[in-house]
């Protein structure tokens, strides 16, 4: 036994909406009923993940008329590699540390910007 359970799509949608509805510190949770849940649990490669993320961004940004969305990728399983999104949000500004120690751009993203440049 793996100690895991594979949710049906209807359970995944219900769980995601309820989790957002009950998130006490989220100001956007009033929109919980409109949350679009994308099931990406069949994702098997970084390229597929990139495609799912691009589709998520295209849907959510909606040419400036923002829509709430979540994309759910495969759960972690022992002995199998997994995928990770390292930054806290899909779209953020880079942060560049200057020679004098100041930061140009978003200071919260200096570390990941430096990692991406490597």
Annotated domain spans of the chain? 7-76, 86-118
Beta bridge partner(s), residue 96: 104
DSSP characters over 25-64: T-GGGGGGGGPEEEE-TT--SHHHHHHHHHHHHHHHHGGG
Instruction: Give the pLDDT band (50/70/90) at residue 1.
Output: low
Contact 55, 38 (CB under 8 A): yes
At 55 the pLDDT is 98
Full-prediction pTM beyond 0.85?
no
């Amino acid at each position: 036994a793996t100690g895991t359970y594979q949710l049906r799509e209807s359970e995944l949608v219900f769980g995601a909406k309820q989790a957002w509805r009950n998130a006490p510190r989220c100001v956007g949770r009033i929109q919980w009923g409109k949350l679009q849940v994308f099931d990406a649990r069949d994702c098997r490669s970084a390229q597929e993940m990139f495609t799912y993320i691009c589709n998520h961004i295209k849907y959510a940004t909606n040419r400036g008329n923002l829509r709430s969305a979540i994309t759910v990728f495969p759960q972690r399983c022992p002995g199998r590699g997994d995928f990770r999104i390292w930054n806290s949000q899909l779209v953020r500004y880079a942060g560049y540390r200057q020679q004098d120690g100041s930061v140009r751009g978003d200071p919260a993203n200096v570390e990941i910007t430096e990692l991406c440049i490597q």
